[in-house]
Structure 1
Amino acid sequence: MALPERDILLCRDCCCGTTKKHPDVDHSTQRDEIEALDDPAGRRGPRVRVRVVDCLDECDRSNVVLVRDFTWNPNGRRPKDFWLGGVLSGAATDAVVEWVREGGPVPASLQRHLFRGKRG
């Protein structure tokens, strides 16, 4: 199987995805919408793999989504990592979903969510 074009890591542990820290966020819908992108074979569009992970060690920026884009490097060895923090609204989640499906540069609506992650 070919590498995915994009790999999405959705943080869900102590801070991200919990009503304890963000009681007004619909975490279940956010997870469902991002998981719906999972299509490693590329049958519905780009090859996307979605993984829900325990912790990305960026708790002060919850909810965190890491988009690893392999399309920027034709050799496919090292993806470009896009760290998105504070993804707490339906509009932000929708923007992530649309961007992953369409590709291209990070849309203006997500620019304020970008940050440099500790792991990359």
Structure 2
Amino acid sequence: MSSMPRTASRTTSLSGSACSLVVCRGCCCGNARKHPGTDHEGQLEVLRAAAAEHGFRIRTTDCLGPCDQANVIVVGPSSAGRRAGGRPTWVGFATDDDSTEEVVRWVAAGGPGVAEPPVTLELQFIDPPKDARVRSRR
């Protein structure tokens, strides 16, 4: 995650109307044995720093379900984005710096319903499982 600043900040909720991220950190996502070349903690640090800087919310969860598409991040729309038709967008295979940075840029620009996602990030959009449940671990 070299091109974005890192911080140990845990401040992750700034506004009830902002976009939100749910970052899977269950059995497969965030697992160094499954993805040994990925800095999972570094990814969370980058996302938390961006949340503090840009005013969006972030939380982690135990498992979102599509383990074969790990790491999974769900991008929730802001209130304005939801009013404009934006819906939660599931991003799979978020295991590298580029995809993490693209998620941050998209959310900082307004996210679902407000800003167009980068084309390369769109290639990582996945369908949520039918029985998706989110259990937060803050």
Q: What TM-score results when the alignment is normalised by the length of structure 2? A: 0.73
Residue 84 of structure 1: which of 87, 91, 112 is its match?
Answer: 91
Q: In the comparison of the two structures, how many residue pairs are matched?
A: 113
Residue 59 of structure 1: which of 58, 67, 77 is its match?
Answer: 67
Distance across 1 between alignment mates of 2:63 and 2:39:
19
Residue 82 of structure 2: aligned partner: 73
Amino-acid identity (%): 29
**CA apart distance, 1:74:** 2.9
What do residues 52-85 of structure 1 show as CA deviations (whole Å, max 9, x unaligned)?
111111111100000010322339xx96111000
Structure 2, gaps ≥5 residues long: 1-13, 134-138
**CA apart distance, 1:4:** 3.0
Residue 108 of structure 1: which of 119, 123, 128 is its match?
Answer: 119
Structure 1 stretches (4+) deviating beyond 3 angstroms? none
Distance across 1 between alignment mates of 2:15 and 2:97:
31
Say if 1:68 and 1:80, in contact at 8 Å, map to a contact too. yes
Structure 1, gaps ≥5 residues long: none
Q: What TM-score results when the alignment is normalised by the length of structure 1? A: 0.83
Distance across 1 between alignment mates of 2:71 and 2:50:
18
What do residues 28-47 of structure 1 show as CA deviations (whole Å, max 9, x unaligned)?
111111122334xxxx44x4
RMSD: 2.2
